[in-house]
Homo-oligomer: A and B are copies of this chain.
Amino acid sequence: MKHRRITISDVADALGLTKGTVSRALNGYSDISDGTRIRVEKKVKELGYRPLSHAQAIRTGRVRSLGLVLQVNAHDAQRPFLADFLAGVTKGASDKNWTLTVATSTSATDTLDTLRRLVEERKADGFILPRTFRRDDRIALLKRMDVPFVLYGRTKDMSNCPSYDILGEEAIEEAVLRLASFGHRRIGYINGGLEYSYSHVRAKGYRSGLKKAGIDYDPAIVQEDAVTVVQGQAAGERLLSTQAPPTAIVCAVDMAALGLYQAIRTFGLEPGRDVSVIGYDGVPEGAYAQPALTTFQVDNRRAGERLAQLLIRRIRDGYSEDLIEFDTARLVVRASDGPPPRRIS
Measured CB to CB, the residues of A under 8 A from B are 2, 5, 50-55, 57-58, 63, 65, 70, 72, 78-80, 82-84, 86-87, 90-91, 94, 99-104, 114, 117-118, 120-123, 146, 229, 258, 284-285, 288
- Are B87 and A72 neighbours in the complex by a CB distance under 8 Å? yes
Residues of B near A103 (CB, < 8 A) are 90, 94, 99-100
- Are A102 and B102 neighbours in the complex by a CB distance under 8 Å? yes
CA distance A51 to B101 in the complex (A): 18
- Are A58 and B52 neighbours in the complex by a CB distance under 8 Å? yes
Chain B: CB-nearest residue to A123: B99
B57, B100, B117, B284: which contacts A101 (Cβ < 8 A)? Answer: B100
B70, B114, B121: which contacts A86 (Cβ < 8 A)? Answer: B70
Residues of B near A90 (CB, < 8 A) are 102-104
- Are B82 and A123 neighbours in the complex by a CB distance under 8 Å? no
Residues of B near A72 (CB, < 8 A) are 83-84, 86-87
B80, B91, B118, B284: which contacts A104 (Cβ < 8 A)? Answer: B91
B63, B70, B100, B229: which contacts A83 (Cβ < 8 A)? Answer: B70
Residues of B near A120 (CB, < 8 A) are 5, 50
Q: How far is the CB of A279 from chain B (nearest CB, A)?
A: 15
CA distance A128 to B201 in the complex (A): 40
Residues of B near A70 (CB, < 8 A) are 83, 86-87
Residues of B near A146 (CB, < 8 A) are 2
Extra A-B contacts (20), CB below 8 Å, given A78-B83, A82-B82, A82-B86? A52-B58, A53-B121, A54-B55, A54-B57, A54-B58, A54-B63, A54-B122, A79-B80, A79-B82, A79-B83, A80-B80, A82-B83, A86-B104, A91-B104, A99-B103, A99-B118, A100-B101, A100-B103, A102-B102, A258-B288
Chain B: CB-nearest residue to A145: B3
- Are B87 and A121 neighbours in the complex by a CB distance under 8 Å? no
Q: How far is the CB of A47 from chain B (nearest CB, A)?
A: 12
- Are B122 and A52 neighbours in the complex by a CB distance under 8 Å? yes
Chain B: CB-nearest residue to A285: B285
CA distance A54 to B123 in the complex (A): 8
Residues of B near A54 (CB, < 8 A) are 53-55, 57-58, 63, 122
